[in-house]
Amino acid sequence: MKLKCKVVDVLTSIPEALLDPDDCAIIGVRENDRVRIGGPKGEVSVLLVSSNLIGEGNMVIPESVAKRVGVKNGEEAEVNYSPSPESVRAIRKKMDGQKLEPKEIEAVVNDIYAGSLSNIEVSAWLTALYINEMDLDEIAAFAQAMVNTGDRVPFEKGPIFDFHSVGGVPGNKITPIVVSICAAAGLMLPKTSSRAISSACGTSDFVETFCNIEVTTDKLKEIGETVGGAFVWGGSMNLAPVDDIVIKIEHPLGINPRPQMLASILSKKLAINANYLLVDIPTGAGTKVPTIEVARAYARDFTDLGEKLGIHVECAITYADQPVGSAIGPNLEARECIRVLEGSEHPASVVEKACECAGILLEMAGFHDGVRKAREILSSGQAHKKFMEIVVAQGGRADLKSSDLKPGKYSADILAPKSGYVNSISNKDLVAVAKACGSANDKGAGLLLFKKKGQRVEAGDVLFTLYADNEAKLLRAKDMAERYSPITIEGMLIKRISTPEPR
């Protein structure tokens, strides 16, 4: 039927048309069906919303749709029923617990990318993936489909090394250190990182405090092929763009289905043509991977998927019962990271973890005794030199120093309420407190830990200091820190021993 168009300039991610319920009945469509809108320039299928406010004979469409079909405000357009995309069948099949064919997975990925699936359908897809899972064949096909919707970095040299942390442990600022050590040893490690999703501060969130993280695929190729290393933001390129859409649906549900997570990680490795990949799996209470058994299962998945996708994968299961190092938040983490490279500070958990990971990568490249080699490169200053080359290549200052990175101007100390030993540190609560301080959006926001697990504290000692760029946020975070008590102190040594520590 023909309807008069009201064109509005409000555009949401998935194009919709609003029609009167009576017109819907005549066309034979119902809310959340599709309608095909046709005008002089062409046709486009959009989601149908039924609304009593539109009036019979009228239709509200976004400007983007009006332009594509070639109709103007007040003009008529042809509106008809349009069937759901074929990929909805694949979603149903996964809801019914069946294994999907590669072309079915590809159809879902392509339709999510094209905006042809509604929030309802993508949510059902992710829920079905969360509950019914995928086997490794399906996940490999999923990764392949995801990389096919995006760009690839056109490296002409190789082999390409890559490093990925599953995440979940706060303060994990090792990426620039690992990249710098490996690149100093001659490896090509053009690392793409992400911003915080549920964490307090992603690698890209703290790297952007001292250099540019947004590059094109051509620029990443150039830096990788000349300097060897990079630590850029993957989101600035179009590597696996389906991710951005999916994250918006995962977020309100608080889920990250295992098949989606694995496919998403591996698709980005395929996009940079990685030949060798080290996966860091931080394991500990309050992280994504709570036990060693879960970590082993992830490791098996990554290595098996690597084999299916032609990437040599190794995994490092790392200790994550408490934060890595002492800083959480963009400027604070950047400062701690650069201090390690400068050699002006030696927080054991940061240095050890970075050298262990870099060591495995060096051994994958053929070096013997990788960890020793990594330590040498770090302590000799070669890693710092390479780090500065990368910083400059990414548009940072050639005279960058750790002291350039300043914590927020508002601060508050959280004191030990009693004497004893630090019994546990809650990653989850520290993340919540750091986010309340304003991290990762406010660059000075975050916290500095002064006590780690097992250390002796006296009543009144500073356990950690909060920093914020904004006083209101500081007060809110302080209140939260006092309510949550992320660090618990146990008076009796005997009780401390009874708490098992998974390592």
Q: Which residues bind to a second copy, rule: CB under 8 A? A: 8-13, 16, 18, 25-26, 28, 30-33, 49, 51, 53, 60, 84, 88, 91-92, 95, 97, 118-124, 126-128, 130-132, 248-249, 251-255, 435, 438, 441
CA-to-CA distance for 348 and 34, rounded, in angstroms? Answer: 58
Q: Which is nearer to a second copy, 12 or 498 (CB)?
A: 12
Beta bridge partner(s), residue 448? 327, 465
Quote the tokens at residue 455: 């250390």
Q: Which conformational region is residue 188 in: left (phi greater than 0), alpha (psi within -120 to 50 degrees), or beta?
A: beta
CB of 175 to a second copy, least distance (A): 23
Strand order in the sheet with 161-165: 161-165, 276-283, 312-319
Beta bridge partner(s), residue 276? 161, 312
Residues whose CB is less than 8 angstroms from the CB of residue 12 and which lie 6 or more positions away in sequence, other chains included:
62
CB of 138 to a second copy, least distance (A): 17
Beta bridge partner(s), residue 59? 5, 19
CB of 258 to a second copy, least distance (A): 13
Note whether 30 and 24 are within 8 A (CB): yes
Q: Which is nearer to a second copy, 25 or 493 (CB)?
A: 25
Q: Which is nearer to a second copy, 92 or 312 (CB)?
A: 92
CB of 95 to a second copy, least distance (A): 6
CA-to-CA distance for 69 and 81, rounded, in angstroms? Answer: 16
Phi, then psi, of 459 in degrees rounded to 5: -50, 130
Q: Which is nearer to a second copy, 122 or 350 (CB)?
A: 122
CB of 470 to a second copy, least distance (A): 10
Q: Which is nearer to a second copy, 17 or 178 (CB)?
A: 17
CB of 113 to a second copy, least distance (A): 17
Four-CA torsion 18, 22, 25, 31, nearest 10 degrees: 30
CB of 345 to a second copy, least distance (A): 31
- Bridge pairing between strands 189-193 and 34-39: unpaired
CB of 3 to a second copy, least distance (A): 15
Q: Which residues of 185-219 are buried (b: 16+ CB within 10 A; e: fewer)?
A: bebbbbbbbbbbeebbbbbbbbbbbbbbbebebeb
Quote the tokens at residue 359: 């060591």
Name the 3-class secondary structure at 229: strand
Q: Which residues of 354-377 are buried (b: 16+ CB within 10 A; e: fewer)?
A: bbbbbbbbbbbbebeebbebbbbb
Q: Give the DSSP letter of residue 289.
A: B
Considering only CA atoms, which of 243, 176, 127, 244 is closest in space to residue 393?
176
Q: Which is nearer to a second copy, 128 or 262 (CB)?
A: 128
Q: Which is nearer to a second copy, 118 or 203 (CB)?
A: 118
Q: Which is nearer to a second copy, 63 or 461 (CB)?
A: 63
CB of 240 to a second copy, least distance (A): 18
Considering only CA atoms, which of 229, 166, 220 is closest in space to residue 358?
229
Name the 3-class secondary structure at 104: helix
Q: Which is nearer to a second copy, 29 or 239 (CB)?
A: 29
* Lookup result for tokens 């060096």: 362
Quote the tokens at residue 190: 């053009």
Residues whose CB is less than 8 angstroms from the CB of residue 438 and which lie 6 or more positions away in sequence, other chains included:
408, 444, 445, 468, 469, 470, 473, 477
Q: Which is nearer to a second copy, 51 or 216 (CB)?
A: 51
Quote the tokens at residue 339: 């201090």
CB of 406 to a second copy, least distance (A): 21
Q: Which is nearer to a second copy, 128 or 213 (CB)?
A: 128
CB of 188 to a second copy, least distance (A): 33
